[in-house]
Structure 1
Amino acid sequence: MTGRKIHTVDPKTGDKTVLVEVEDQPNGMCFAADGALIYSSMFDTKLYRYKDGAKGRVSLDDTGARVLHGQDPGPGRLLRIDPDGAVSSVEEGIIFPNALCISPDGKTLYNAETFGYGLHKFDLGDDGSLSNKQKVWAAASIAGGATGKFVDIDGGCMDAEGGIWLSLLALEQFARLDLKTGTITHRVKVEGHATACTLGGDDGKTLYMLTNWVPEGEDLFTAMVALKTRCTVSAARVDIAHGDAQP
């Protein structure tokens, strides 16, 4: 984000190449069904498509506050962007929404509430509408009941069996949650804030993990703005492939 670039990384060599520069600061991104890259630009509040492709519906989280610039977390919302570019708010009052995932059958949307310390699910209609909101898990449940500024979920992704990998920021781990039982089945511990993850590779069984290291004693957001953080992309092999979940 603060580097204002989107990179591609060769997983075999670690070499990175600038794909596109985003002056207004890139944030979330995903690949459309046709392989086109969709990415958000924070400060001009727009979505962009890298290279043309077929149009489809996009779900987007609006965090509701510029926490990188000193604002306290506040109520955000979930947006639906239709193929014609029309934007609709489909859910309000979420404290810093994050980690949007759609189940393999396309019928359920999951959303982390980063500063609400929980994971929610919604029934997802064919028209992109949301209903029947339920809280299905809380990050504090594996933190000894602790709550705090960063005992929360940042990014996430789903696998073919409907399990969801969660980036547990200050707990410094990526954990797979079995949504059927509510239990953690796998963990990958890291050094630094567990920020984002996605499943990929030739067989969909490589978990790519982004970890953000912050200098000791410094505030995360202040350090990010000052370009003092260091991000690392690492990978781990997992048992269950990506499948048809989104992203």
Structure 2
Amino acid sequence: MSSQQKEYALQELTGGLFYGEGTRWRAGKLYISDMIGQKVYSIDAAGNKTVIAEQPHKPNGMGFLPNGDLILSSMHENKLYRYLPDAPVGNNLELYADLSSLFTGYIGDMVVDDNGRIYVDDVGARVFEGEALKPGRIVIVEPDRSISVGLEDCHFPNGIVITPDKKRLVFAETFLEQLSTVDIVDGQLVNRRVLLDMTKIFASEQDRAHKNGCLDGIAIDAEGGIWLSVLYAGQFVRIDSEGNVTDRIHVPGYDKMVACTLGGEDGKTLFMSVSRIKGDHTHIFDALVSRNIETTIFTARVAVGSGQP
């Protein structure tokens, strides 16, 4: 695999969040779930944050339906809600789909196709309650809100995108340290295979000791290149459609690279959610439970614009 190191100018957009997940861009604003803060924010170009929803059961992934409606997840309930922008905060979420009958863990990320079909991660285990990691699945929510399992035996499925040609779904399997892909045929998921083995990119002895190939959120550009939030490695990495590393953005001083999305007026701004553990915690789940973590959003200008609507 090839790698071309490039220089990027990081700009701080905003801070003041605990753990920023599920980043999305829409109509001039960044949307982000503060999982531990139990709020969903919109953030304007100047970095001003507005609370748009309060979610006591922890928000995570989100996505926009083709008509522009925002769908939010409630992790510990394993439910999806439609955001009602004209209602007051605290009374502005309408149940969209209850996934609890198919889930064994929590909702992770999600992606919405052009038909309004939603693909939602089930991470498999209830890790906040101390349950050991175990395989989860990807659940499909049809436009009529019926639900079904689309793919089983997914190892902590996380960041998830659809390729610009609409033919494949790509998702991170965090603690397996790999990026997997599957074909989309009439809305169903078939022909699963490994797209990228992260242990070959982060292959040093130190990398392996720290599992630096773990991935969290991902974003796809118009060329099919994918930006990866490399959770423990202090950087965001772009791979091309063949899996070759083309770019790296280092974010010094932060422990966890959590989520990313492409947006801005031309789609060429990469928004990066990065977190720093406070105190003596060494494990991310311990820091999340104790709320000893803080998130900052950085931006960088990149060459290729967004591949998602």
Quick check: TM above 0.5?
yes
- Number of equivalent positions: 242
1:134 paired with 2:193, answer yes
1:228 to 292, 302, 305: 292
Instruction: Say if 1:63 and 1:98, in contact at 8 Å, map to a contact too.
Output: yes
1:188 to 216, 231, 249: 249
State the shift of 1:217 in Å: 3.8
Q: Which moved more, 1:182-191 or 1:72-81?
A: 182-191
Instruction: Say if 1:139 and 1:168, in contact at 8 Å, map to a contact too.
Output: no
CA distance in 1: counterparts of 2:120 and 2:55, whole angstroms: 18
1:74 paired with 2:138, answer no
CA distance in 1: counterparts of 2:212 and 2:120, whole angstroms: 22
Point out where structure 1 has 5 or more consecutive residues left out of the alignment: none
- The answer for the alignment partner of 1:106 in structure 2 is 166
Cα distance, 1:22–1:199 mapped onto 2, change above 3 Å? same
CA distance in 2: counterparts of 1:185 and 1:241, whole angstroms: 15
- The answer for the alignment partner of 2:62 in structure 1 is 29
CA distance in 2: counterparts of 1:195 and 1:10, whole angstroms: 20
Q: Secondary structure at the match of 2:285?
A: helix
- The answer for the alignment partner of 1:175 in structure 2 is 237
Q: Secondary structure at the match of 1:223?
A: helix
State the shift of 1:72 in Å: 1.7
Point out where structure 2 has 5 or more consecutive residues left out of the alignment: 1-34, 86-113
- The structure whose RCO (Cα within 8 Å, separation 6+) is larger is 2
CA distance in 1: counterparts of 2:203 and 2:179, whole angstroms: 17
CA displacement, residues 24-79 of structure 1 (integer Å, 9 cap, x when unaligned):
11011122222221111011110111138x98210000001122332221110011
- Which residues in structure 2 correspond to 1:6-155 (within 5 Å)? 6-12=40-46, 14-51=47-84, 56-126=116-186, 128-145=187-204, 146-147=207-208, 148-149=210-211, 151-155=213-217
Q: Percent identity?
A: 42
4+ residue runs over 6 A deviation: none
Cα distance, 1:129–1:19 mapped onto 2, change above 3 Å? same
CA displacement, residues 137-171 of structure 1 (integer Å, 9 cap, x when unaligned):
12222222543456301000100000000000000
Query: What is the alpha-carbon root mean square deviation over aligned residues?
Result: 1.9
Q: Which amino acid is 1:212 matched to?
A: S
Report the TM-score when normalising by structure 2.
0.74
- The answer for the alignment partner of 2:222 in structure 1 is 160
Instruction: Say if 2:279 and 2:292, in contact at 8 Å, map to a contact too.
Output: no
1:212 to 268, 275, 278: 275
Instruction: Say if 1:165 and 1:175, in contact at 8 Å, map to a contact too.
Output: yes
Instruction: Say if 1:69 and 1:221, in contact at 8 Å, map to a contact too.
Output: no
Instruction: Say if 2:179 and 2:194, in contact at 8 Å, map to a contact too.
Output: yes
- The answer for the alignment partner of 1:5 in structure 2 is 39
Instruction: Say if 1:27 and 1:41, in contact at 8 Å, map to a contact too.
Output: yes
Cα distance, 1:144–1:109 mapped onto 2, change above 3 Å? same
Report the TM-score when normalising by structure 1.
0.92
